[in-house]
Amino acid sequence: MTHDTIREKVRSAVAKVMETGVSDLDDAADLYIDSVATMMLITELEEAFGIELGDADLDYEAFRTIEGITGFLGKFVPDQRCQG
């Protein structure tokens, strides 16, 4: 999965949890989401990417921005361009 595809899925999940439009989001802006919204977002991301994130895997600091979340998830989502 490409970085851009990951980012778009992250943007969609964030928009759903924050109940806002995707076009209203700034990838670099602090999301200012609380712990409940963060857990809801993690659930959305797990479903969107077909992954399971354990507590030991999580970097809550990365969940401050869409850019941070995208970079974080890049470690868990395989890059399909490299697969034969």
What topology does CATH give the domain 3-82? Answer: 1.10.1200
d(CA 55, CA 9): 21
Cα–Cα distance between 76 and 30 in angstroms, integer?
A: 22
CA distance 28 to 52: 25
Q: What is the pLDDT of residues 12-69, one digit of tens each?
A: 999 999 999 999 999 999 999 999 999 999 999 999 999 999 989 898 899 999 999 9
- Domains of the chain, by residue range, sit at 3-82
* 0.85 surpassed by pTM: yes
**pLDDT given for residue 36 in this prediction:** 95
pLDDT band at residue 1 under the 50/70/90 scheme? confident
* 45, 10 contact by CB (below 8 A): yes
* Token representation of residue 47: 């479903």
Length of the chain: 84
